[in-house]
Amino acid sequence: MAFPAHRHLWIFAFGILGNIVSFFVFLAPVPTFYRIYRNKSTEEFQSIPYLVALFSSMLWLYYAFLKGHSFLLITINSFGCVIEMVYIAIYIAYALRAARNSTIKLFALMNMGLFSLLILITHFIPNDDARATVFGWICTTISVSVFAAPLSIVARVVRTNSVEFMPFSLSFFLTLSAIMWFGYGFFQKDWCIMIPNIVGFVLGLSQMVLYGYYRNNEVVDEKLPQHVAINVVRPPPRVVSEVRPVTDEISPPIDRGEARADEQQPQPSQLPEGAVEVVVSGDDLGSDQPS
């Protein structure tokens, strides 16, 4: 495979661009966590994406140390580890007990237990280059899985004909990041970096095409119908307007001259809560009264 004479310059250029784009990708959840901080609640947000992102950054950081001469890979994944730890700490601080406990358990199992196990297993490989290669393919496998995670969002877009849950900006920056890191891996002759970013580019491009296809569709919120019950009772003409409880059976008009003080009060109506009964006098009806 032939490379330009200034291969190291290309590696540096793609590495710097990859760092810049990935920096903004890592900062994308900041509005979400500001909302969590402001509301003092994690609402319906899940911690799994941030735990997985932290796990991926930890793997690539260790791979960069094993491989050597990968300073730009170390810088961005170090930043990724720090920012994802901040996100997870905020989530744990404001999550309900069940969500907090599950987040801590998953962090202990995956980010501490599994990561330590992978380091321990590869530690027994005697050759440094072979150790880096094995760990690199482990990183590749996990990164492909991470890139494939948004497929559930793609399925939801197709099912609902709405891009509400698939922001274009995030898809764009993920695609751009995949291009930059593919270029970095290409000039490094590192298939472990190239393969997951090929997958990331294809999936990111597919999401943008899908966004362009469905973006003009209207989002219809499914809401329960709201009913207001209005019961209008028309008494005889020239009777003063008043508001009374509705009875199950409307009795005939009673002459007020013969009304007794101990007259039985009518039973409350069975209208839904919040309903309004309006009793209108004959004088207010105007031309609607029969002659």
Mean pLDDT of 97-124: 95
Cα–Cα distance between 179 and 73 in angstroms, integer?
Answer: 15
DSSP state at residue 260: -
Q: pLDDT (tens digit, 9 = 90+) per residue, 189-242?
A: 999 999 999 998 998 898 899 888 888 775 544 433 333 333 333 334 444 444
State the distance between the two ends of the chain, measured CA to CA, in whole angstroms.
101
**Rounded to 5°, angle at Cα 79 from 125 and 120:** 20
Cα–Cα distance between 15 and 2 in angstroms, integer?
Answer: 20
Domain ranges of the chain: 7-214, 227-254+267-284
Tokens 């995956």 belong to which residue?
110
Residue 94 identity (one-letter amino acid): Y
> Which stretch, 67-71, 83-87, 145-149, 172-176, has highest mean pLDDT?
83-87
Residue 196's closest CA among 169, 178, 214, 180?
178
**Rounded to 5°, angle at Cα 130 from 125 and 136:** 105
Q: Is 50 exceeded by the pLDDT of residue 133?
A: yes
For 52, the enclosing helix (H) or strand (E) is: helix 48-67
